[in-house]
Amino acid sequence: MLYVRYRYDEKRRVRLKTVEIVSEEKPWHPHAHFREEEMVKVMVMVGYSEQAFRSILKAAGGRWNAI
């Protein structure tokens, strides 16, 4: 397979044409979970009435923190 892509360099104001050749194709099964060091904690404000969203966050490991 052969792929052609265009990339744009805004600083130099030029368009680059790149060519990618695929030499091998194999099945790949990504890991279902991220490693702990890849995860980033973020704070999200969720309204009291947003119960469906709260349930989703809780199921994903979210924790409540009263600020």
Tell me the pLDDT tens digit for each residue of 4-50. 999 999 999 999 999 999 999 999 888 777 777 777 888 888 888 88
pTM for the whole structure: 0.39
Positive/negative CA dihedral, 37, 38, 43, 48:
negative
Q: What is the pLDDT of residue 67?
A: 67
The pLDDT value given to residue 39:
76
Six-digit token pair at 27? 């099945």
Query: Beta-strand (E) ranges in 1-67?
Result: 2-9, 14-21
Beta-bridge partner residues of 20 = 3
Specify the pLDDT at position 29. Answer: 85
In angstroms, the first-to-last Cα distance of the chain is 54
